[in-house]
Homo-oligomer: A and B are copies of this chain.
Amino acid sequence: MSGLDLKWSGSEKKVARRAFDLAFDAAFAKLMAEFKSRADAVAEPADLWEMERYLRRQRRELEELFDFRYSQLPLVFARLIREEYLDERHLAGLSDAKLEIVRSYLSLPKG
């Protein structure tokens, strides 16, 4: 099970880009809402430094998750579906081989 050797057609690349951007927008909207709520609650110096650590963790997680290399995309899409940033229907238009890889990742235990 690997997406390393798959070929991506022009229309598949468009589907992938759209799905990826959609998921990024969803992830960012969630982070934004959480940030605003945490920012409202900041009251002490320790809260501010915790906010710095929180933003660093979130940035690193997003950087790791949103990896737009075609070789990684099936795994990335599976993770994005699992995190509920993406619905599988947004991948309609990808080849069956790619969708099967996504689904096989989704069938693995979490962790």
Contacts and interface: CB of A to CB of B under 8 A. Distances in A.
A4 interface: no
Interface residues of A: mostly helix, strand, loop or mixed?
helix
Counted per complex, copies of this chain come to 2
A6 interface: no
Interface centre among A42, A45, A59 (most CB of B within 10 A): A45
Given A52-B52, A52-B59, A35 B39 contact: yes
A99 interface: no
Nearest to A39: B39
Interface of A: 28, 31-32, 35-36, 39-40, 42, 45, 48-49, 51-52, 55-56, 58-59, 62
